[in-house]
Structure 1
């Protein structure tokens, strides 16, 4: 039976790695491009306040704390399940009355049993434990990835709304001054009431946008508080920023160190699918082991003392030791059907793993494309801003020489301010694309104690970097 036990074990299937050798649209190399590390990719944004917020979220986020607690729970249960195929000892002490109800006895016993776990049963149990722990680790890592990405995204939204408020307030001042000048010109018969009406409409729209930006600031601050596990936001989050706003968000070009094979190690969805394959293989192994006899070795020793007669005379049973064999006889069909069902479940888990890999590559490719398009938009908007600022300088010079009116200068400043606001929005969109990319790659802090190698030896253990 011991010799046959190894023949029944189920091997973990070879997992397909449908991963291309390189990205289809890698970032274009450029001088000064930053190469963020997956462990701390948000540091490349150059925002010390953001770095502090991420650290606080890692320590205080309630969703992440629940994931850690569930991981510890799974590990504690793994210790319990791991003891199933180890020798177990028990002792019992209890009173007992005989059938005739004439004598009472005090009995004590010592028992030992060891289930050998033949025919792949022990291997299946160990594999199932590793699969459950690996799934909990992947879930916890997914919580870290999501938490970091949400903190960065919410912070970017907060900063964007604050920057927009500065630009919109500038537009309010410019339109208000324009409206004042138009009133003077209409009194001199140099403009019409329709000109004032258009400026009034524009001023009302800008003030409405300013109100919406203030609302976004409050919502983003509340979202940060939620991510940090606190009821109210910090006052410093909503403080006004100085003009001109000098945010590093989206202002730089980013390079990509990771290659597609890194997804197999770092992306939580893939690691979770890999753990599901491991668990399915364990279930199949357990089902196959139930087709064969269960073999256990046990021993027992009993001591009995007569309490009714108050005598020292005792009755001892001879210690027993020997094998216990449980042989399936009449439910073979049910057990065979369970094996067939688990085979299908294992095949389905392998297909799910393959789908998780393909989806991961597709999501990363989409994020790369979005990042490239956002960078191009930033570059185009920077060109527009440069042109409007040059025009503003020209109009200031012409106004000083009395070759242009105050209204012309205000119009040029309004166009430059509008271009600045659109450039800030493009930079924030670039940052959000950057967040989406590193979220798709599985970027987040990794605890030192967590293994990041693939669970299956068939999957690549290391991806190249550049």
Structure 2
């Protein structure tokens, strides 16, 4: 009888060694060969995916980002989840290795006359044939890599949010100074309008318009203070604290972004985005789940053994200890529920196909987002250049008006108007530079940032 059991075990073991492989689908690289629009800043600073914020050349921003990557709570949460996923994967590595347990328990004879204390060891070993081991490894590997990708995505998001809030903070502080100048220029216009009215050189309508413009300028001058409060508070949250850094409220120059040359940036760079890498790992995980579902159609094979010492505690206590050793195959064969298991295989096949389509959709959407962000940066760069040229022209006009007044060929009203136009041009330049910087930040967020090397397990790599 034992020889027949051994023969059956050997037969099933050989069947388990037969190829039953669930392959990971080939994921198409559907990124375009080139971007549809490119930044034309030839000779500009080369893009840097890892330290892109250093292009601003602002030590304060560098320090804030360094602090945020260390102290931000979302980054820390993602890090803890990654460590948990890695620990869980290491724990699951032994799922198909032999185990050995020591145990004690009581046993009573059927006639209830003798009670025994049994002490011994038992061991079991499931082989993981028919692709069950491979599927299990893929699932745990994908879970670890997904946690790693989430951690990298959190770092990308926090870095972009720190840079965005810092740029808006400095722009608001610079805007506050310009708006104060505009208010001062509007006050001078009101004074001049009052003098002209008193000298019967002007009209009440001119004075009313000047006073209305002054009130509008005063109202607009209150906006930067709110932005400063919002951005400093947002930076505090990003730094993992409730108290904003008081030093940030001191006005400082806005970070200046130089020319950036994206002409050599490959379109395939977008594949570093976290959601694309996450979609890749979802395909790996779905392939693992399908492999396990297919393996469940076949018997589970293994070996089990026990070594037990039995001591009589009641009844026939004079009886010597008995030692028993048993070992044999473990076989579980699906019979009645085979149809349900087959249905699960069908479901897992559909899920794998859906995850492949989701990957393709992620690539298409992310390429479109990156393309739009690149076009947006190009447009904002052009607007910033135009704003700078407009400012230079208005400053030249202001100097001319001041010169004309000084030699007696112009009046104070013309000078006040020229100074106001120059301040408004500075305000427009400030907003244009801010928008260009924000577009730059959004572009690198669209690129996604680099992902650390993903975990691998022999031939079962994290990526197809």
Q: Same fold (TM over 0.5)?
A: yes
Per-residue CA deviations over 1:99-118 (Å, capped at 9, x if unaligned) read: 44433322112011110000
Work out the CA distance in 1 between the residues paired with 2:244 and 2:68.
Answer: 13
User: 1:286 — aligned with what?
Assistant: 292
Worse-matched range after superposition: 305-314 or 150-159: 305-314
Q: 1:402 to 1:370 in 2, by over 3 A?
A: same
Work out the CA distance in 2 between the residues paired with 1:373 and 1:221.
Answer: 28
Residue in structure 1 matching 2:333, options 321, 327, 330 = 327
Are the counterparts in 1 of residues 286 and 351 from structure 2 also a CA contact under 8 Å? yes
Worse-matched range after superposition: 364-373 or 103-112: 103-112
Work out the CA distance in 1 between the residues paired with 2:205 and 2:316.
Answer: 118
- How many residues align? The count is 448
Work out the CA distance in 2 between the residues paired with 1:19 and 1:116.
Answer: 42
Work out the CA distance in 2 between the residues paired with 1:195 and 1:455.
Answer: 73
**Aligned residues: CA RMSD:** 1.9
Matched, 1:20 2:28: no
User: 1:177 — aligned with what?
Assistant: 188
User: 1:443 — aligned with what?
Assistant: 449
Name the SS of the counterpart of 1:314 in structure 2: coil
Are the counterparts in 2 of residues 34 and 253 from structure 1 also a CA contact under 8 Å? yes
CA offset at residue 168 of structure 1? 0.2
Are the counterparts in 2 of residues 176 and 203 from structure 1 also a CA contact under 8 Å? yes
Residue in structure 2 matching 1:252, options 255, 259, 262 = 259
Residue in structure 2 matching 1:30, options 32, 42, 46 = 42
- Taking the TM superposition and a 5 Å limit, the aligned residue runs for 1:412-451 are 412-443=418-449
User: 1:343 — aligned with what?
Assistant: 349
- Taking the TM superposition and a 5 Å limit, the aligned residue runs for 1:89-128 are 89-128=100-139
Residue in structure 2 matching 1:263, options 261, 265, 270 = 270
Work out the CA distance in 1 between the residues paired with 2:453 and 2:261.
Answer: 27
Per-residue CA deviations over 1:48-90 (Å, capped at 9, x if unaligned) read: 1111111111011111111111111111221222221111111
- Taking the TM superposition and a 5 Å limit, the aligned residue runs for 1:451-462 are 455-457=462-464
Name the SS of the counterpart of 1:378 in structure 2: helix
User: 2:203 — aligned with what?
Assistant: 192
Work out the CA distance in 1 between the residues paired with 2:357 and 2:332.
Answer: 36
Specify every segment of 5 or more residues in structure 1 that has no aligned partner in the other structure, as ranges.
Answer: 458-466
Work out the CA distance in 2 between the residues paired with 1:317 and 1:386.
Answer: 100
User: 1:273 — aligned with what?
Assistant: 279
CA offset at residue 165 of structure 1? 0.5
CA offset at residue 96 of structure 1? 3.5
Work out the CA distance in 1 between the residues paired with 2:249 and 2:453.
Answer: 35
User: 1:373 — aligned with what?
Assistant: 379
User: 2:52 — aligned with what?
Assistant: 41
Worse-matched range after superposition: 216-225 or 250-259: 250-259
Per-residue CA deviations over 1:101-158 (Å, capped at 9, x if unaligned) read: 4333221120111100001111111111111111111111111111111111111111
Work out the CA distance in 2 between the residues paired with 1:256 and 1:108.
Answer: 74
Work out the CA distance in 2 between the residues paired with 1:309 and 1:73.
Answer: 52
- Taking the TM superposition and a 5 Å limit, the aligned residue runs for 1:5-16 are 5=16, 6-16=18-28
CA offset at residue 303 of structure 1? 0.6
Residue in structure 2 matching 1:221, options 216, 232, 251 = 232
Are the counterparts in 2 of residues 249 and 428 from structure 1 also a CA contact under 8 Å? no
TM-score between both structures, scaled by the size of structure 1:
0.92
Are the counterparts in 2 of residues 9 and 121 from structure 1 also a CA contact under 8 Å? no
Name the SS of the counterpart of 1:271 in structure 2: helix
Q: 1:378 to 1:258 in 2, by over 3 A?
A: same
Work out the CA distance in 2 between the residues paired with 1:66 and 1:41.
Answer: 24
User: 1:400 — aligned with what?
Assistant: 406
Work out the CA distance in 2 between the residues paired with 1:22 and 1:434.
Answer: 19
Q: 1:66 to 1:57 in 2, by over 3 A?
A: same
Name the SS of the counterpart of 1:354 in structure 2: helix
Name the SS of the counterpart of 1:303 in structure 2: strand
User: 1:157 — aligned with what?
Assistant: 168
TM-score between both structures, scaled by the size of structure 2:
0.92
Specify every segment of 5 or more residues in structure 2 that has no aligned partner in the other structure, as ranges.
Answer: 1-11
Work out the CA distance in 1 between the residues paired with 2:233 and 2:381.
Answer: 29
Matched, 1:233 2:240: no
Name the SS of the counterpart of 1:7 in structure 2: coil
Work out the CA distance in 2 between the residues paired with 1:257 and 1:129.
Answer: 38
CA offset at residue 249 of structure 1? 3.5
Are the counterparts in 1 of residues 455 and 462 from structure 2 also a CA contact under 8 Å? no
Are the counterparts in 1 of residues 141 and 455 from structure 2 also a CA contact under 8 Å? no
CA offset at residue 300 of structure 1? 0.6
CA offset at residue 94 of structure 1? 2.7
Name the SS of the counterpart of 1:344 in structure 2: helix
CA offset at residue 256 of structure 1? 5.5
CA offset at residue 240 of structure 1? 2.8
